[in-house]
Amino acid sequence: MGTVAPLLEGRRIVVCAGSGGVGKTTTAAALAMGMAERGLKVAVVTIDPAKRLADSLGLEELGNEPRLVDPQRFSEHGVEIEGELWALMLDSKRTFDALIERLAPDPATAQEVLSNRIYQQLSNSVAGSQEFTAIAKLYELDQYGDYDLLVLDTPPSRNALDFLDAPGRLTRFFQGRAIHMFLRPAGIGGRILGRGTGVVFSIMERLTGVDLLHDLSVFFRALGGMVDGFTERARRVGLLLSDPGTTFLIVTAPRHDPVEEAIFFHRKLRDADMPFGGLVVNRLHRPPAGDGALPADLDEDLAKRVEAAAHELAALAERDAANVEHLRTTLGDPPTIVVPELDGDVHDVEGLALVRGHLFG
Ligand SMILES: Nc1ncnc2c1ncn2[C@@H]1O[C@H](COP(=O)(O)OP(=O)(O)OP(=O)(O)O)[C@@H](O)[C@H]1O
Ligand SMILES: [Mg+2]
C-alpha cells in the first residue's frame, strides 16, 4: 500500500502511538533511519527499547541526551545516511530533574527540590511517568535542539490515551486541592497539620528518623513557586502536540484488540484536535505465495505438514485482511502503510532496514 514519505513531508515532529507491543519502538527507529537516509538531521526518542535494538543503534549507555549514531553501522548494511541520525533512550527521572532545574527560580531552589525525599518519590512515580516525561523531552528537544525532525516513540501504556492527557494531568496536579492545602499558610491545611497530624508525624519521625513534615513543607514551598511555570509549560506542550508541524501515526497490529484500540485512539485524537497522519499496520500476514501445488516427490508426512502450515498462514492472512478492512473503513480510508510480519524479531540494523524499506515503499 502507501508510503510514509508524504505523511512526513514538512513535519517537524512525528509521534508513533498505539497500544502495547504493536511495534511503536521499531517503527519510530525505522522512520528515523529512513528520514536520516533522506538527508535530514533526525533525533529519535525511544522508550525502553529492547536491549539488542538499543545496541544496534549504539545506545549501550543510558544517556538522556541524543547521541549521534555512527553511520558506519548502517552503511555496512547498505543504508547510506545522508543526514544525521541521533538517538536517545528516555530516562524519565533525569528528564524530570532537568525540568525542575529549568523551571526553578535559582539553583539553590532546584537543589532543594531535587534532594527532597517527597520529590524523589514523586518523580519516580506519578509525575515522573513516561507519558509525561516523553513529551517533556520532546518539548525540550524541540525548543533547544536543532533537528529537522523529531521522532517520538510512546510508552507501552495499556491505554494510549494516558499519553495525550499527560500535560493535562500535570496541570491538574499543580492546580489541585492537595497542593493548595500545603501552600496555604493557615486554613484547613494549617489546621490538619496542626494537632492530630502533627503528633502522627512526630511519632513517625521518632520511629523512622525521617522528618516527613519538614520534607513535605520544603517540597511544597519550593515547588509552589514553580506552579505557574509548570502550567505554562504544560500548555505549550499541548500546543506543540496539536501544531500542524506535528503528525501522529497510529501503529497497530492487524488483530482484534489493537485495532479496537486504534479506533478509540483515533477518535480521541480527533476530539483533541491533534493532527492524525495515518496508520502503520505492522506484522501483517501475507497469504502463502504460489499456487499451493507441492512437488510430487515430497515425503507424505512432510507434505502434510507443509499443507497444514500453508493453511494456517492463509487463515491468518484472511483474518488480518478483515481486521485491516474494518479499521480502514471505520477511520474513513486514511493513508495506510503496511509492514509485513518478518521472520524473527527486529532487533538489528538489518531488521530495521527491512522495516524502513516497507515504510518508505
Ligand atoms: N514487522 C515485524 N515482524 C516481526 N517482528 C516484529 C515486527 N515489528 C516488530 N517486531 C517485534 O515485535 C516486538 C515488539 O515490537 P516493539 O518493541 O517495537 O513494540 P512496541 O509497540 O514498542 O512495544 P511496547 O508497547 O512494549 O513498547 C519486538 O520484539 C520486535 O522485534
Ligand atoms: Mg516500545
* CA 324 from centre of chain: 23
**How far is it, in rounded angstroms, from Cα 348 to Cα 352?**
6
pTM: 0.86
Neighbours of ion ligand 2 (CB under 5 A): 24-25
The residue whose CA is least distant from atom 15 of ligand 1 is 23
Q: Is the CB of 342 under 6 A from ligand 1?
A: yes
CA-proximal residue: ligand 1, atom 5 (nearest):
345
Q: Which of 19, 26, 45 to mutate to test the pocket of ligand 1 (most atoms within 8 A of CB)?
A: 26
- Residue 72's pLDDT is what? 93
CB of 316 sitting under 6 A from ligand 1: no
Rounded Cα–Cα distance for residues 356 and 265 (Å): 24
Phi first, then psi: what are they for 318, rounded to 5°? -65, -45
**What's at 203, amino acid-wise?**
I
CB 23 within 8 Å of CB 66: no
Q: Which of 25, 45, 47, 52 to mutate to test the pocket of ligand 1 (most atoms within 8 A of CB)?
A: 25
- Residue 121 has what pLDDT? 77
CA–centroid distance, 314 to ligand 2, in Å, is 29
pLDDT by residue, tens only, the chain of 361 residues: 689 999 999 999 999 999 889 999 999 999 999 999 999 999 999 998 988 889 888 887 667 899 999 999 899 999 999 999 999 999 888 888 898 899 899 999 999 889 988 788 777 665 447 877 888 899 999 999 999 999 999 987 655 566 667 667 666 666 665 556 555 544 444 444 555 556 666 665 666 656 667 777 777 777 777 878 877 887 888 889 899 999 999 999 999 999 999 999 999 899 888 899 999 999 999 988 877 677 777 788 888 888 898 899 999 999 999 999 999 999 999 999 999 999 988 989 999 999 999 999 8
Q: Which three cell numbers stand for residue 103?
A: 523551571
